[in-house]
Amino acid sequence: CPLLSFLPPGKKVLIVYAHQEPNSFNGSLKRVAVEELSKQGCSVTVSDLYAMQFEPRATRNDIVGCLHNSEEFHYAVEMTEAYKRGCLSNDLTEEQEKVQEADLLIFQFPLYWFSMPAIMKGWMDRVLVQGFAHDFPNCYDSGLLKNKLALFSFTTGGSEEMYTKESMNGDIRYILWPMQV
């Protein structure tokens, strides 16, 4: 697959996959990516969010042990402090280890209502916490994962013409912009 040939052999790839049906087009794209990258000598790990029954909701259960402020729960603050103390739940630390080890992250998903599926958004909210993925003012191009490559591989359920500047849906670049910053 020429699109995946930019990665030298020996590199590690994490595919974060969000589709309920393994036999879907998204499932086929994931399988082809795993096969092709493996043939090229890459080590590929897949986080199949539906198969894992990944919990997309951000809750107090994401933190093991005492809260930083037990009087008022503020998720972002609590997650930052829990990350610093090593007190994140096991499902999150396992996913963070996969991200840390990967040279390339591929996000495979169908576009739902002009965004990624809730389960993948939940993965991003819960896994890519402050202190791990970013730390203000170090975010975006200067974030803590800046040396990693990332790729969106997604389906739209519509034709190319449906995602142009002149179309009812609008330019696909503007739809994707909030997801890729």
Q: pTM for this structure? A: 0.89
- pLDDT tens-digit series, residues 5-18: 667 778 999 999 99
Q: What is the pLDDT of residue 144?
A: 78
Nearest to 178 by CA among 93, 121, 101, 100: 121
Distance between CA 89 and CA 49 in Å, rounded?
A: 16
CATH of residue 144's domain is 3.40.50.360
The H or E element that residue 48 is part of is strand 43-48
How high is the pLDDT of residue 158?
75
Q: What is the pLDDT of residue 119?
A: 96
How many residues does the structure list for the chain? Answer: 181
User: pLDDT at position 162, please?
Assistant: 75
pLDDT < 50 positions in the chain? 1
CB 128 within 8 A of CB 134: yes
Count how many domains the chain has.
1
Can you tell me the distance from the alpha carbon of 101 to that of 96, in angstroms, rounded to the nearest whole number?
9
The pLDDT of residue 163: 75
pLDDT at 156: 85
Parent domain of 80: 2-179
Q: Is 75 helix (H, G, I), strand (E, B) or coil?
A: helix
